[in-house]
Structure formats: structure tokens, C-alpha cells
Amino acid sequence: MGQGKLFEPEVVEQYDLLTREDLVGLLKIERKIVDEYRKLFQEAKGFKEELQEKLMLVDDQRIWLRSQLFGRSSEKEPKASPAGEAAKPTPKSKAPKVQKLSERYPDAPRIERHVELKDIPNCRCCANPLTDSGMTENSEFLTVIPKQYFIIEQKRHKYRCEKCHGELVTTPSPPRITPGGSYSDGMIVDVALSKYCDLIPINRYVRMAERSGIEGLPPQSLIETTHQLSDFLRPTYALLREEIRKEKVLHADETPHRMLEGHEKSHWYLWGFSSKKASYFEAHDTRSGDVAAEFLKVSACDFLMSDVYSGYGKAVREANLHRAIHNHPRIQGIYCNAHSRRRFKEAQERFPNDAQFFIDEYQEIYRLESELIDKPPEEILRTRREMAPHFETMKNRAIELVPSYPEKSSMGKALSYLMRNFNELTAFIGNPNLPIDNNAQERLLRNPVIGRKTWYGTHSERGAETMAILFSIVESCKLNKLNPREFVKQLVDNIHEGNAPYTPASVSTH
């Protein structure tokens, strides 16, 4: 019986004419055909499932790209209303009392200006001349003096002996970052901090100077001044490195950096390590965990907060091997809950119901964490213990949902991330000194990332090193609530006076 007649009506009487051997042979052929069709059916079913999974992944990618282009940049969630209650409109609070400018900016210099009448009028009642009553009607407004450039002609006096005329002594030149250079220390600091604090490209700085009447400033020579300042401040950079290495809890993260020329590799990375009081960057031509491993081997770090990048796992393992040889305590890697929450946010549009469950749990966890600012350790531990049931609830829910989602879907990745790294994500609960996430380090990388987009990259290894040094000092100033411009200016003056270099943290503690 041919395959073409497989599904046609059969005439039962025809089997009476067949022998036993013919019937057995016919049955074998039919079984073979059925097996072939069953195999084709299974292949088609598998192909359909594969297409559905690929369609889901493509849909995930479409949603993610759309969120990157048009989504909100903030991860903050609106406050949830209690179950069964409609969201109540937020009552309008009373407008705060507007402070006087002198109260709002108490450190700003003040200039008192008296406005008087040139021609004093006569009284409209009795025609006598008016006199100053001593009373005034006061108001305040803010003004600015545009940046001005000056040429300083330095004249060093020479002293001679009137008696024998045998000696002539010239007054020594005051110390400068670049002795004999064309730019003062003040201008060098202004150029460098305009770029690495205010993120103003050098070419834009040149155009701004032109509008102030200084035309033709050579951009390349201004770039050179940033290198000169970074070389001058290298001792402070080394102190920052030592400050970071003494910390028990460290944050770590890295971001791509482009080397435009001057090196065989164009893809570099800016590595960042930080504590509550110091920020330290290094530029390298690799993303290998060897960079972090070398940093950690000689550190006092007990806990490393990072994202779940294999390079940090490798760094912790290698550092622990090195520490074992010297009988030093092991480093424990802890992971960022903001990354975990972010993955559920990415899955929210595609899988709204299940993703929202985890987002709501994280919202409550972060609400509890927000109440712990400046609280004593015992209160931090007590509040964080309230977070443990929320994490256990998420873990149990994730175990239930994992079979329902392809591993490569956005929801599957979010669930896997939470379950695979559960211990590292929850380590902070039992230690009041540990952070809940790595957002502090990501904030420190924000300006370098914006700068990278603004001036595209660096043109030499020296430029990459200058970037690391100056961003380290600037971001450390911000951590200690210091004005980077004032700090760097005072630091340069103190070094000129023969004093030892210091870091922003050492200033803020005095």
C-alpha cells in the first residue's frame, strides 16, 4: 500500500486474498510510515516552539530598545496604595516661604548699593525741601561678573652691592605648576576643572574665551596644561589609591572608554573603585578581571560590591588565593539589587503581571532602606530583618515561575539572575555596613560617561591617565561635599608652600 493511498477508504475484503506473510509485511510498512509521520510531527512541533521562543526574544528586544529610546530614565516607582483602595490625589502642600537671597546664599559676597535722588524735590504739602530720613526700602538681586582674562607682567627685582659691585641677586620666581610657562596656576586649574568637573570640551572653552576678547588660544597647549596639572597632583592620586585600599567595603564598576589614537587598541575601559569618602579610577586597555585582582590583592577589602560580571568573580578568586598564602581574610563578593530590580523592569511590558510582583516587592524593600539614612547600626539591622521575608517571597515565586519562561527571555533572565545570585543579593541584610546596591559607584561614573560622549575619547595613553587622575580627585571632592575648584586651588597653593599633599577626605574630617 503506497503512501498516496494511506488515508483513502479501505476495502476490507481485499485482505482475505493476502497470505499471513503479506499481512505481516503490510503491517511493518504501515508502522514505518506512522513512525516517519510521528517524527515529522515532533520536528514540526519543536520548530514551532523554537519560533515562538525566538519571537518572544525579538519582542523582548523591541521593548527594551523602545524603553531605551523613549522610556523614563528614573527607576523610581509611584507609591503603591493599600490593597482595595483607590489611589488618593496628593494634597497640595503650602508653598514654602521664599528666602531672601542673602539667606539662601550666605557665603556669597555682598555689595551694598545706595540709590539716591540727584535732585531732591520739595514737599507737596508745604513746599519745604525734603531731607534724607535715614530709612530705606531694601531689595536684593543676584548678579554675575563675567570671566576676565589678564596678562601678568612679572618683574623680579635684582639687588646689587653698592660698595664692591661684586654680586647681583635676582628675586626667585614664585613656584608654579609650569615654571616659565605661558599660563598661570589659576588658568591651568580653570582649564582642567572646566573639562573634568564641568565637562566643557577644550574647543568650547576656546570659543568662550573668544567671546571674552581672548582670540586664538591654542587648544593643544590648553590640553597640555591638563596633563601638567595631573602630573602635579599625582601624589594626591596615590593617596586616594591608598585610602581606597584601606577600606573594608569597596564598590567597583567599569565603563568603556575609546582611545582615538596613540595605542594599538581603541577599546579601553575606565575602572572605578570607591568607598563612602573616596573615589579612584584607572584606565586600562582591557576588561579582564586581572585589573581588579591586582587592586584587591594588596587591599584590606572584606566585601566587594559589584554587578554580576565574571571579571569580578575572577578577581575575587585570584585575590583570595593570594590572601590565603599570606593568611589574610577572604573577600566576599556581594551583588547589586538595583541590577536585579532593573531586569524585572525590562520584563515588565512583555510580562506585566509576573514582573510587577517582583517590582512591588523591591519597592517595599527600598522603602525600608530609605528610612535608614544616618541611623545607628542596631536600627539598620532591625529594619533590614524586615526585608528578609520579601526576599524569601520573591525567591519562592521565582521557583514557581521559572518553568513557565524560556531561559533567554527577559523574564527568564530576571528570574535566573535573582535565584542564581540570591545569597550575594541578600548579604547586606545581616551587616549594617554593607550597601543594598552599587548605585553609589554608578553615580561616580556618570560624569566620565557624559564626558566620553562629549569629547568622544582620548588621544593618547597620557590623556587616559590624566582623565583617571583628575576625575578621581573631582569625584572624591563631591563625595566629601567640597567644591573641586576651591579644593584643587588650595591644594596647589599648599604644595607650593612645601606642605605634604592631602586628599578631600582628610579635609572633610578636620
Cα separation, 381 vs 115, whole angstroms: 61
Provide φ and ψ at 83, rounded to 5°. -60, 135
In angstroms, what CA-CA distances link 140 with 109, 116, 146?
13, 16, 20
**Burial (CB count <10 Å: 0-12, 13-18, 19+), residue 305:** buried
Question: Range of 407's domain?
Answer: 337-436
For the stretch 458-487, pLDDT in tens is 889 999 999 999 999 999 999 999 999 999
Residues above pLDDT 90, as percent of the chain: 57
pLDDT digits (tens, 9 = 90+) for 112-128: 888 888 888 888 898 89
Residue 424 lies in a domain: yes
SS3 19: coil
Backbone angles phi, psi at 156, to 5 degrees: -95, 120
The residues, any chain, with a CB within 8 Å of residue 407's CB and separated by 6 or more, are 413, 416
Contact 197, 474 (CB under 8 A): yes
Q: Is residue 99 part of a domain?
A: no
Q: Would 308 be classed as within a structural domain?
A: no
Q: pLDDT exceeding 70 applies to what percent of the chain?
A: 85
Q: How far is CA 260 from CA 86, 274, 460, in A?
A: 56, 27, 8
Selected residue with higher pLDDT from 144 and 202: 202
In a domain, residue 408? The reply is yes
Say if 431 falls within a structural domain: yes
Buried-state track 70-102, b at ≥16 Cβ within 10 A, e below 16: eeeeeeeeeeeeeeeeeeeeeeeeeeeeeeeee
For the chain, how big is the Rg over CA atoms in Å? Answer: 36
The dihedral region occupied by 498, where left means phi > 0, alpha psi between -120 and 50, and beta the remainder, is left
Q: Does any domain span residue 157?
A: no
Q: Is the pLDDT reported for residue 368 higher than 90?
A: yes
The predicted model gives 230-252 an average pLDDT of 96
Spell out the long-range contacts of 266-273 with Cβ–Cβ below 8 A and sequence spacing 24 or more: 268/464, 270/445, 270/448, 270/464, 270/467, 270/468, 270/471, 271/295, 272/441, 272/444, 272/445, 272/448, 273/244
State how far the Cα of 276 lies from the Cα of 237, in Å rounded to an integer.
17
Q: Which residues partner with 255 through β-bridges?
A: 270
Residue entry with cell 597620557: 462
Q: What 8-state DSSP symbol labels residue 179?
A: T
- Of residues 286 and 61, more confidence is placed in 286
Q: Please name which of 392, 438, 420, 409 lies closest in space to residue 346, comparing C-alpha atoms.
A: 409
Residue-level pLDDT at 147: 84
Closest CA to 351 of 80, 72, 59, 78: 59
Mean per-residue pLDDT over the chain, rounded: 87
Q: How confident is the model at residue 108, as a pLDDT?
A: 84
pLDDT tens per residue, range 10-38: 555 666 667 777 777 777 888 888 888 88
Q: Are 405 and 418 in contact (CB under 8 A)?
A: no
Say how many domains are in the chain. 1
Is the pLDDT assigned to residue 322 strictly greater than 60? yes
